[in-house]
Structure 1
């Protein structure tokens, strides 16, 4: 049918939330139905991610994406013309074949994922159904727990905190709308507490809208202050704490040691530190607590701690690496980032494999996020149960606003993941 036949695919260079270039793609059918998607970009990237094609040179300090734009317009567009926009897997597999590399470095993963997502959005528009329902069908009904990064460190902020994200999870809420309200109330209260203790400059925010208190070095202080804000509002036991440690960036491959709070420590000492943290605080999730090649260490930590252990750099949304983790019992959850792998179909395959093996799936933004809200739809579409997308900047709140719309549309059918965020079914 003409309604579903691709007439045109076109790309352009736009800006992400950091003011850096990224790629936006439009897929248009013969009857003029359009789907548009933009691609986020990570600052904290693992070595196993699919290749993000940048231009180099002086323009935008080398970060331009005109090569990726050209690859969409000159390579992918002619190949996809006339194809059925609802044949997502067929289209994704053709793009992978046209690229022909393991990491999508010929055409660029950013070019390919932009087309892949735009195809899905066009198909949903052609079928006149929401994107989350197109992805998940009639069984897409679970609203996720928002994982709110209230205090930032690592590569996301100009602070002395080594861990990247100090998060709160409103697992005791009864609905997503209640959860996001409670989470933002804690954010405001934490700002008041930080200003009293660390002064007005602590209210400056990092890449994802979390606070960046100067002089704070110990993650335990961040957790303590988050707990204080939670308790002051009477929300004790309604929140869990969590951390994105991004430990690959703390690791020295030459010495085989990590640097934490200015001190070099071994893997065993770092694991002991995590054990102390989990015993002292209501932490229910640790992301990338060890460096990206340490499957053995992840297995030990997963066995030792009765919390969610997420592999981000460890898995890089790569099905081969996830299979290895499952076989070794390394981690028990995966961070799902579509642009780490390069197509929507591959990301959905990874999520399905994770769920089938009892692994949690936390859908995640990138630090260089855009205002596009496909992330929220994807989260509900796969019933992930948890989403990590920052706190207060508009490209972050755009995801939350979309989830509020989806919750309203689902009505009584909507289920909030809450305490079952890891396995929400």
Structure 2
């Protein structure tokens, strides 16, 4: 018997092509990021004029010529190893989609259910045994940086609800988001309620403190000031000048030590518990200093780690983080991503499974985050269909698990 995988192009949420792989009716779609770490697995794009150079015809042709037909692999690890050996030729967009599609196909063959299947392959990749669990959503409600057209340096301002059930957490997110819309509309006019790539509002602000004040004002209006914590994805590599080895915020140049002081002042003034990529993606030492100064906070590595087991090991050695941001397409296969997950778990870290700014209707990450027992999941705002699809899938899983 043989597998009959087929690749095709579909659109992501930015209207760009991406790769979908279909294995006997079981599909997987690769997302795409706007702000990318330099150590991410590389997509294969066409270049040229079509789709402004972002076409994926080359990736699809290579996949269909190389991968059809295929012998039936006995497990996810062997299939993913086959993909990893060909990733440079196929592109990580093809291998990511294929790895997800194979997981769905294999779970169907085994009749285990996709969530339980993800639990089993996490264990197979060396993660300490854990049961599936419902993660807390991390909601991006104001966009900046590479995800918006405003002048905010920081890329995402997020809220993390505190409640006993998923449904209550999502209710808090939804109500704060709607209240924030009212606040922005009243204060800045209709242009302030335009949304960015991930559904968060993109008001024309330049002061990085202002979004924190606005979000907490909306939460307080609803009586949620004690139930809402804040987080920031700084994406600091975007405002780091490598030649000068300085960070440039609001036209001011500063070294890492001064930037850390600024972050610490924000942490004293606002209930910020989540700090993602606060420094340049090679600056393990500054991450470590921040972790020492804020031992109770989540110091999250995204561009720093790129869902790489090797970079997680380096961060553990340097004491740089305590939370892995896990994006499967950064690694290129499920197995590669799960090796990073296992390394993080063995170090006692928390894990946040994450969407990308270029998403699709695929709800894979909701099933995956539950299956591996991640504490957190970044889904964007409770707006735009490609984001709400994932919230809705979490609600279905939570209901079924009662």
Instruction: State the TM-score, normalizing by the size of structure 1.
Output: 0.90
User: Which of residues 278, 281, 288 in structure 1 aligns to 2:277?
Assistant: 288
Which residue, out of 100, 117, 120, partners 1:134? 117
Runs of 4+ in 1 over 6 A off after TM superposition: none
- 1:218 deviates by 1.7
Quote how far apart the aligned CAs of 1:6 are.
4.1
Q: Which stretch has the larger CA shift, 130-139 or 246-255?
A: 130-139
1:170-319, aligned counterparts within 5 Å?
A: 170=161, 172-214=162-204, 216-306=205-295, 307-319=297-309
Distance in 1 (alpha carbons) for counterparts of 2:105 and 2:318: 39
Cα contact 2:233–2:275 (8 A) shared by 1: yes
Give the corresponding residue for 1:419: none
2:356 to 363, 366, 382: 366
The separation in 2 between residues aligned to 1:130 and 1:181, in whole angstroms, is 28
- Asked if 1:323 is matched to 2:287, the reply is no
Aligned residues of 1:166 and 1:219 also touching (Cα < 8 A): no
Q: CA deviation at 1:327?
A: 0.7
Contact 1:141 1:410 in 2 (8 A): no
Is residue 17 of structure 2 the alignment partner of residue 21 of structure 1?
yes
How far apart are 1:140 and its partner, in Å? 4.1
Per-residue deviation, 1:196: 1.5
What does 1:61-72 correspond to in 2, within 5 Å? 61-72=52-63
Whether contact under 8 Å (1:76, 1:95) holds in the other structure is: no
Q: Secondary structure at the match of 1:105?
A: helix
C-alpha distance in 2 between matches for 1:356 and 1:282: 29
Deviation of 1:126 (Å)? 2.2
Q: Distance in 1 between matches of 2:22 and 2:2?
A: 11
The answer on whether the counterparts of 2:3 and 2:68 sit within 8 Å (CA) in structure 1 is: no
Q: Tell me if the contact between 2:301 and 2:321 (Cα under 8 Å) persists in the aligned partners.
A: yes
Candidates 85, 88, 96, aligned match of 2:76: 88
- By how many angstroms is 1:139 displaced? 5.4
- C-alpha distance in 1 between matches for 2:357 and 2:156: 12
Q: Are 1:336 and 2:319 an aligned pair?
A: no
**Structure 2, unaligned stretches of length 5 or more?**
121-128
SS state of the match for residue 336, structure 2? helix
For 1:225 and 1:82, locate their aligned partners in 2 and report how far apart those are by CA, in whole Å: 56
Maintained 8 Å contact 1:190/1:229: yes
Aligned residue number for residue 5 of structure 2: 9
TM-score, normalised by the number of residues in structure 2: 0.95
Asked if residue 54 in structure 1 is aligned to residue 45 in structure 2, the reply is: yes
Structure 1 distance, partners of 2:103, 2:167, is 27
- How far is 1:105 from its partner? 2.5
